């Protein structure tokens, strides 16, 4: 979207200290709330807006993902997440996010060919892993390995050229499963596995994670489908903390691999991508349904830092549309694995039921989010909890790459450089 696509719906005015009000432009996107354009505010009126946490600030224009938090709507490039989850593969969704349209047959096969060409890791990249302790968190390894990719690929580092940008974005998307899988196999002392181009993206990821050199690995199609679904659901979420970080880094012209490494670092936090790991830990601590009322009481206690992990969201104030899809998939995968009596699933279902009927959670509009059931699903699929966020990073790379492409294509994009409200000492002398 460029400036001509913005519709001026009205103008706003702001008067400061009874000075004459100055008119400000109000911009309207295609959907969602309009935004007061304050870009000239400081220059014209010498005053700043203050919005730590960006609760009321649109940091950019974007045409990739639309969320209506009040109604529980999530769309990629206009398509409802429920439809994409049902009818598309992750590779198609990644193409949609990156290039704006779902791929036609020829486009999909050309994209798949590129992904298959780039999905191997350089042998020297694999040697980086050996510098890490075996007990390193996979996210620590991934941050480093992805940043290190900046030192490779001298053939495509002029990001003013669209083809080179597409090459870098496709490389990131293609290599991330191997990077994540290697961080896992290294941690358990198993040899690295190479991608197998006869498999689709998610099946390939599973065989690199769980295949052993001494046994043929047959991908379970139910698990591959569940993995593909998880990747679709986590692929993008507009200006979340990690995506904003990628855009912030990209605004300085940084290399895309370094930008995505910054995104991975941000994703690692427990308030963002680390939440499903934290959900599983919480469910294990609760252990039995009888302990749930105490956990709920703790979550409501202002003097206790404990929160119900997997509950609440910055933008969804009715329901997170991804949560219900994951809950249903978790139920069917657990049935397939004959694990439907998983005690943690029993605790999770009961915890959800009680919290949704509790005054506190109702009043604060706290609903299960995407992370509430995904930890159980991943655990029962064989993932150790430390890999959960790594998997999220594989998926979100599609979104990060798309936002990086969008930002790089924007004409005249400025470096992201927020102002501050200084609250330190006034001038003083030694
Ligand atoms: N349990 C108990 N109380 C909560 C919870 C929770 N999970 N989440 C929010 N609250 C309360 C909070 O204490 C605050 O109360 P008060 O108004 O009395 O101070 C109020 O609800 C608003 O919370 P907030 O922290 O100001 O809201 P936020 O929009 O800044 O935070 C959140 C959103 C997701 C960080 C938060 O809900 C949370 O910490 N949830 C648990 C962690 C979690 O599940 N994170 C995954 C997010 S979804 C993944 C993604 O999309 O990246």
In this structure, which residue's CA is closest to atom 28 in ligand 1?
Answer: 314
Cα separation, 173 vs 179, whole angstroms:
11
**Closest atom of ligand 1 to CA, residue 271:** 45
**Dist. CA 244 → ligand 1 center (Å):** 19
Tokens 């690199």 -> residue: 208
CB 308 within 8 A of CB 371: no
Q: How far is the CA of 312 from the centre of ligand 1 (A)?
A: 5
350: CA distance to ligand 1 center in Å?
Answer: 20
pLDDT tens digits for 151-167? 998 777 888 899 999 99
To test the pocket of ligand 1, the residue of 52, 53, 312, 355 to mutate (highest count of ligand atoms within 8 Å of its CB) is 312
Looking at ligand 1, which atom is closest to the CA of residue 237? 51
Which residues are designated catalytic? 313, 371
Nearest CA to ligand 1 atom 36: 312
227: nearest Cα among 241, 209, 243: 209
Atom nearest to 364 CA in ligand 1:
21
What pLDDT shows up at residue 3?
Answer: 45
Q: What confidence score (pLDDT) does residue 19 get?
A: 75
Residues, the chain: 430
Closest CA to 219 of 230, 209, 229: 209
So what's the pLDDT on residue 8? Answer: 62
Angstrom distance (rounded) from CA 199 to CA 204: 5
CA distances from 322 to 50, 192, 317, 340, 353 (A): 32, 32, 13, 21, 17
Distance, CA 271 to ligand 1 centroid (Å)?
A: 8
Nearest to 360 by CA among 310, 320, 307: 307
Residue 349 parent element (H or E): helix 343-356
How do strand 35-36 and strand 65-68 relate by DSSP bridges? unpaired
> Whose Cα sits closest to atom 37 in ligand 1?
312
Can you tell me which residue has the tokens 């005015």?
13
Residue nearest to atom 49 of ligand 1 (CA): 272
Residue 197 alpha carbon to ligand 1 centre in Å? 41
Report the greatest alpha carbon distance in the chain: 78
**Residues within a 6 A CB radius of ligand 1:** 237, 240, 271-273, 275, 299, 307-314, 364, 366, 369-371
Element (H, E) at 369: none
Residue owning the nearest CA to atom 29 of ligand 1? 314
Please give the C-alpha separations between residue 3 and each of 7, 8, 163, 402, in angstroms, as whole numbers.
9, 10, 24, 20
- What is this structure's pTM? 0.93
Q: How do strand 73-76 and strand 79-80 relate by DSSP bridges? A: antiparallel
Q: What is the pLDDT of residue 399?
A: 98
> Which segments of the chain have a pLDDT < 70?
1-10
User: In Å, how far are 116, 179, 230, 236, 249 from 273, measured between CA atoms?
Assistant: 27, 17, 13, 12, 19
Rg (CA), the chain: 23
CA of 333 to the centre of ligand 1 (A): 29
Which residue is it, tokens 């501050």?
Answer: 420
Alpha carbon dihedral 262, 266, 267, 272, in 10-degree steps, equals: -160
Which residue puts its alpha carbon closest to atom 50 of ligand 1?
272
pLDDT at residue number 85: 97
């Amino acid at each position: 979207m460029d400036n001509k696509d913005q519709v001026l719906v009205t103008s706003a005015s702001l008067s400061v200290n009874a000075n004459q009000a100055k008119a400000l432009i109000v911009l309207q996107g295609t959907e969602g709330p309009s935004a007061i354009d304050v870009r000239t505010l400081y220059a014209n009126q010498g005053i700043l807006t203050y919005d730590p946490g960006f609760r009321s600030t649109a940091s950019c224009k974007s045409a990739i993902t639309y969320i209506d938090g009040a109604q529980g709507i999530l769309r990629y490039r206009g398509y409802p997440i429920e439809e994409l989850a049902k009818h598309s593969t992750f590779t198609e969704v990644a193409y949609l996010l990156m290039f704006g349209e779902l791929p036609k047959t020829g486009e999909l096969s050309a994209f798949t060919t590129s992904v298959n060409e780039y999905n191997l890791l350089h042998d020297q990249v694999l040697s980086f892993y050996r510098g890490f302790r075996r007990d390193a968190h996979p996210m620590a390894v991934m941050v480093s390995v992805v940043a290190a990719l900046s030192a490779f690929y001298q053939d495509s580092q002029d990001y003013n050229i669209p083809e080179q940008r597409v090459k870098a974005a496709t490389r990131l998307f293609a290599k991330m499963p191997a990077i994540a899988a290697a961080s896992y196999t290294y941690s358990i002392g198993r040899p690295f596995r190479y991608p197998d181009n006869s498999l689709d993206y998610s099946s390939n990821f599973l065989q690199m994670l769980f295949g052993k050199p001494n046994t043929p690995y047959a991908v379970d199609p139910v698990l591959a489908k569940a993995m593909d679904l998880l990747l679709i659901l986590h692929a993008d979420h507009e200006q979340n903390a990690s995506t904003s970080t990628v855009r912030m880094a990209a605004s300085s012209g940084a290399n895309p691999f370094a930008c995505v490494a910054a995104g991975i670092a941000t994703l690692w936090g427990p308030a963002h991508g680390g939440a499903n790991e934290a959900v599983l830990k919480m469910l294990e601590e609760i252990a039995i349904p009888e302990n749930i009322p105490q956990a709920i009481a703790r979550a409501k206690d202002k003097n206790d830092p404990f929160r119900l992990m997997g509950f609440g969201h910055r933008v969804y104030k009715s329901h997170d549309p991804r949560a219900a899809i994951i809950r249903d998939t978790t139920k069917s995968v657990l049935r397939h694995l004959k694990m439907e009596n998983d005690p943690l699933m029993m605790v999770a279902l009961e915890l959800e039921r009680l919290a949704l009927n509790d005054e506190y959670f109702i009043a604060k509009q706290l609903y299960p989010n995407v992370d509430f059931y995904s930890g159980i699903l991943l655990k029962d699929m064989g993932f150790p909890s430390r890999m959960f966020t790594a998997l999220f990073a594989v998926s979100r790379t599609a979104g990060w790459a798309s936002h990086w492409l969008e930002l790089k294509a924007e004409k005249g994009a400025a470096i992201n450089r927020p102002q501050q409200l200084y609250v330190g000492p006034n001038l003083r002398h030694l």
